[in-house]
Structure 1
């Protein structure tokens, strides 16, 4: 073994890698931004006597020359994760293999000699004064490959950052080396579009202050990080970090103060981004790199309270099954760390496992929320693992939901043009009853993400449209009322709300009528605290308003906020007026209406009072002039 002491330059002789490789070997190739390209080039150039070398690796940000057709006699590629140039094509054409495995368990394949490694080809920084080289920007499964391989062959790169954590390899572990500098590959921040921005907004709403996050790379992760700019005290325990994480650390949003595992540190297994990110992690004591078996271990992930895992998918079926490594029969990427972190978030106290994806393919022609998985597609994350699915149309909470409820939740966040067909498809399997006759409709007047955040009595609530998936929640809301509330709302003591009647109340054509609710998320899911609706009367171009508030939430401003929002939407829709009918003894409700400008009108019923507010342009002009004169 060539023993590297204080400096590589001090050696007059370098052991040749050719002394350690032979035909039929299995080699490991360094990951992500740490591919030893110069070493690979040298191997290809001097490989006249070598054949059938099995090359195993995960994602490699490289030209991936070993996967080119002209080198198929030299290399047999076996990818744990498919991506980058040439590898996906090689797998699709049958020249390369794909081995599905959780990232956290790949090290076991090496350690237990299930896939014994003859050599690990890696990239490292130069050794320090103590003889330690750093694996730099990618520790991930490289660390386990170094420990398990018979021989370690390194490309020493002076441009490789020295990262902290468990990222070091001593020179006595390296058997052969070449010293070639190369610029690390960069991934510029993706340009966000409207869809990814909306998904980012929705996802950020699921992340509480003080949470610890795991997130990947791409448009959606970038959008999520963008919308976390006003959060506080976030932590990071993630397979990877990008420039977006860097920005949040510099702004103080990510400070890791409230983490319960590796407190005070951002912990990762690799990073991908621009040179700015690579410079940021170089010697940074606040960012520590650990092997995948540590970072991706679901048990370790779960040691972080309020762990939020954010991953993506190719398609999700209406039961919650997630396909993320294949498009039909074509393998596209890999299992990666998705299940590791989804499971870890589930086990975490207050954790949230999230799958975020666009509702359609790029051209908008194919729904990614599907009635059944595309033939050949494989489930990576099971329906039992999923917590939340997010698209640009909202958040579907699947926690504790039946198949019927899941289907309705997911149809609600599918693209509107596919909702009717999805509903028809699930009916074929009796998942959704026939009395559920409406697919969800949108309320664009609420804004791009169709919900708003309100704070009442220092607690945060969400204002959003009522949807068919709320059938059970509305039932629970109904049965939370006392006798007095039921009499005030329905003008008689209503004792029952059947599944069928609840279903009719949540199956609203929101383009014509309007039904909004205030909800709050807790450990048990989402709870309705207030419902406001109006019913459109076409003959007079007006609507009748009604709402009800949970007894424990009254007097906090919910009724006023609901009514103001309904008035605002009615004006946008050019309604002439809104009317209401209130029991004479319901003084609080009368006060809410009259404070909003409703005026009492004639009523034939002695125990009821009719009210109305004029929304016409003429009335608004008259009101404005009156205010000015006053």
Structure 2
């Protein structure tokens, strides 16, 4: 069947001065239409061009076309658009991606004409919006006239991506390569962020992610997961690798099971070929994909987004640097909200801890003057940097501040604590800022499985004050007597703060925790105190009664011994009640020998660390 094409554009019949014209964006910018309009534009002025992120040179925003076009962008991208916004020649309109389409449908921004790029029509006359359905579909449905660039290089994508040739007032046939972007290289900082984010993802979860280094790094560490799904506003090249790994099955999705759901993709030509006629990947308008209630229909929805800075209460700045608008709101709030409402969902903000070659902290005591909050402090569940995971949901301002200082770059932590003492309620007894244990490696969070349950071993830190209180009050009198040699009645906030505020460069304090969503429970604590006068340390540990005999104490002691050996400490000591036979047995199992003690109620044990290290290496 031969399909008749509409005529070439007669712009005098399609636009007029002062009208509003939508331009398709992302990788589907119809540059042939833009060029034809510019070439025939002598009679026009003050045309408002509306678009979202648009790859390519954005030539319409150049200074030379300032009388012809006034740009109104929903997302700032590219040198020309950014320069035009900075110079006041263009406007930035902040709006959630889920609500952009309603600006056209409800008449807030009525469209005279929409310029879109589509695939060639099939035998029935249907063209596909291909890699850029997003808000293009809504613009086409609500504009008075639609003009299309038919491009043989535009893929045909499944889902709600089709417009019939009869809907176009005019077309241009132009064979042009789609706009591509290269995947950025993954550096060591991004690698660690990706590892931490991956720890928050359970098998069977559904993922949303954007473009950039952090999503690529995260997906790399998800390739051994099982039955993951994807419901994401956009796809990048990383999707191909994780699908090839077998980690993506979409079987456990509770909304569009069996399918990858998206609204646009940007990346390489290989990605565009990958989505072409791929029945497993469906493209829908952003008003559908980004609708928070639709996102929430996916159980265990994991939303992974980034930020420019985060303040110590959890406010997220994502579209501006001071008074300079940098990008756009995009779909961050849509997916943060949707994941928050999802059963088992996790909204995650992931970002490097510093900028400008580690001279500027992205974790800040208060947002930079002029910057705007995109995601509020009430929406955020997790903030992830290369220094760990800060869990914010259900946390007080004080707890949030301590959690976020912990994942800030170490050289900014003291200053951040000093600032937060001035601006927020942090008690007078909170004197120390969180420190890492270098001997644990770049990743300070270590997964361990105990009787089929997942736990994490990590440093104890000031944000654990309340958790340590809860841990203390969970013990029986017998456990407290055996651990402390008396029956303590209280663990005050001041005492708990002192116990969790550890200078980990001299002493060492570890805990084993169970994390269920935002709820973190301490199940075991182990520590040693360093004695500088004789280069020895004294070790102790305590385990929740329900976990005793399962290897947690042994894991803590093994790790403490390893840390002490790496610090070239000569000897590790331990003092136990004589009737605490389980604890004595653990120390002896790890090579500790009993020393003579004049007190029959107490057993003193010692481990020569450097001898043990030499025996281990031998």
C-alpha contact (below 8 Å) 2:208/2:335 kept by paired residues: yes
Q: Secondary structure at the match of 1:428?
A: helix
Q: Does 1:508 align with 2:535?
A: no
Q: TM-score by structure 2 length?
A: 0.98
Q: Please identify runs of 4+ aligned residues in structure 1 that moved more than 6 A.
A: 622-625
Q: 66-75 or 15-24, which moves further after superposition?
A: 15-24
How do 1:169-248 residues align onto structure 2 when only pairs under 5 Å count?
Answer: 169-248=163-242
- The within-5 A match list for 1:296-375 is 296-375=290-369
Indicate if the aligned counterparts of 2:16 and 2:44 stay in contact, CA closer than 8 A: yes
Distance (Å, rounded) in 2 between the aligned partners of 1:15 and 1:599: 91
Q: Is the 8 A contact 1:512 1:536 kept in 2?
A: yes
My pick for the range that moved more, 505-514 or 432-441, is 432-441
Cα deviations by residue, 1:484-524 (Å, 9 ceiling, x for unpaired) = 11111111111110000000000000000000000111145
SS at 1:477 equivalent? helix
Aligned position for 1:628: none
Question: How far apart in 1 are the matches of 2:129 and 2:188?
Answer: 38
The structural deviation recorded for 1:141 is: 0.5
Q: Where in structure 1 are there 5+ consecutive unaligned residues?
A: 626-630
When the two chains are superposed, the root-mean-square deviation of aligned CA atoms in Å is 1.2
Secondary structure of the corresponding residue to residue 454 of structure 1: strand
Q: Which stretch of the first structure deviates more once superposed, 350-359 or 221-230?
A: 221-230
C-alpha spacing 1:295/1:621, structure 2 compared with 1 (3 Å)? closer
Query: Which whole-Å CA distance do the structure 2 matches of 1:309 and 1:180 have between them?
Result: 37
Post-superposition Cα deviations, 1:88-137, rounded to whole Å, max 9, x if no partner, equal: 11111111001000000111110000000001000000110111000000
* 623 and 166 in structure 1: CA distance in 2 versus 1, 3 angstrom threshold: closer
> Which residue is equivalent to 2:2?
6
**Which of the residues 29, 39, 43 maps onto 2:23?**
29
The CA deviation at 1:323 is: 0.4
- Give matches, 1:54-93, under 5 Å: 54-93=48-87
1:499 to 486, 493, 501: 493
Give the Cα separation in 2 of the matches to 1:623 and 1:282.
57
Helix, strand or coil at the partner of 1:76: strand
Structure 1 counterpart SS, 2:36 = helix
Q: In the aligned structure 1, how far is the partner of 2:185 from the partner of 2:35?
A: 33
State the alpha-carbon separation in 2 of the partners of residues 18 and 197 from structure 1. Answer: 54
The answer as to 2:544 corresponding to 1:534 is: no
2:381·2:518 contact (CA, 8 Å) conserved in 1?
no
**Cα deviation digits, residues 184-231 of structure 1 (max 9, x gap):** 111121100011001111011001111000000111111111111111
CA-to-aligned-CA distance 1:219-249 (integer Å, 9 cap, x gap): 1111111111111110000000111111111
- 563, 573, 578: which one aligns with 1:584: 578
Structure 1 SS opposite 2:77: coil
Q: Give runs of aligned pairs for residues 117-156 of structure 1, distance below 5 A.
A: 117-156=111-150
Cα distance in 1 for partners of 2:239, 2:597 equals 62
**Is the contact between residue 239 and residue 270 of structure 1 (CA under 8 Å) also seen in structure 2?**
yes
* 8 Å Cα contact 2:20-2:50 kept in structure 1: yes
Deviation at 1:84, TM superposition (A): 1.7
Deviates more, 1:302-311 or 1:14-23: 14-23
Separation (CA, whole Å) in 2 of partners of 1:185 and 1:530? 53
CA distance in 1, matches of 2:57, 2:243: 32
User: Does the Cα contact within 8 Å between 1:17 and 1:176 map onto a contact in 2?
Assistant: no
Kindly indicate whether the alpha-carbon contact (under 8 Å) linking 1:62 and 1:85 is maintained by their aligned counterparts in 2: no
DSSP 3-state at the match of 1:316: strand
Asked whether the equivalents of residues 21 and 112 of structure 2 are also in contact (C-alpha less than 8 Å), the reply is yes
1:614 maps to 2:608 = yes
> What does residue 465 of structure 1 align with?
459
Shift of 1:624: 7.5
What are the equivalent positions in structure 2 for 1:438-457 lying under 5 Å apart? 438-457=432-451
| TM-score under structure 1 length normalisation | 0.97
What's the CA shift for 1:269? 0.3
Aligned-pair CA distance for 1:556: 1.1
Q: In the TM superposition, what whole-angstrom CA distance separates every residue of 1:339-370 from its partner, at most 9, and x where no partner exists? A: 00000000000000000001110321111000
Tell me if the contact between 1:16 and 1:177 (Cα under 8 Å) persists in the aligned partners: no
Aligned to 2:161: 167
